[in-house]
Copies of this chain bind each other. A is one copy, B any other.
């Protein structure tokens, strides 16, 4: 007899919180992802999140109406609220899944003990490879950042991004100190260049297109690390 049989929307506090996950990089196929606290990951629900993600990626979060999501699922818009407490909670689910993974990936790369260039290249590569699995999240972070930024519920976005920045800048500075990178490198600027370069690619990257994410990563890494000059 469930005391709270309908924890509509599931995750309440949202965001990447020390999800006890082993160091082993489990980045790939995790079909339904570590079920957020208190959420019984029903297949129906997961399906709805998927559909929503696709729409959010295509049109943006704000520009997507709950009616469109419901239409895509073949139900009435009100019925969505049987599964989620709000449109935001769907976004939350999509975004926190991504950010959790980002954090895990970054920390694993750091923990690997490589050189700055190795660490950053690993990070960059996992970044590119997430373009496929987390297209919607990355898209939303870019298109609707203004919206999410202002909602307390999504504070974790900024917190996670701050840690991401810390890691990048740390490695960049380490690389400058040990002579790997140019001495005149502005760490913050370079971080932004890399981060944006990777994530903005979500705008035009299409899975199954001319280039795989691996090829993408190769080309971009080479340019960013070694420049375009022959």
Contacts and interface: CB of A to CB of B under 8 A. Distances in A.
A60 interface: yes
Interface in A184-230: 184-186, 189-190, 192-193, 196-197, 200-201, 203-204, 211, 216, 219-220, 222-230
Contacts of A35: 1
Given A1-B74, A6-B76, A63 B62 contact: yes
A142 interface: yes
A225 B63 CA distance: 37
Contacts of A117: 229
A13 interface: no
How often does this chain occur in the complex, in copies?
A: 4
A174 interface: no
Interface residues of A, number: 55
A147 B196 CA distance: 22
22 contacts: A1-B74, A5-B74, A5-B76, A142-B142, A143-B146, A180-B230, A182-B228, A182-B229, A182-B230, A183-B230, A189-B211, A189-B216, A190-B228, A193-B220, A196-B196, A196-B201, A224-B224, A224-B227, A225-B229, A226-B229, A227-B228, A227-B229
Contact of A200 (B4, B5, B196, B222): B196
Contacts of A201: 192, 196
A63 B147 contact: yes
Contact of A2 (B4, B74, B145, B222): B74
Nearest to A195: B200
B146 A63 contact: yes
Interface string A130-148: 0000000000001101110
Contacts of A193: 197, 220, 223
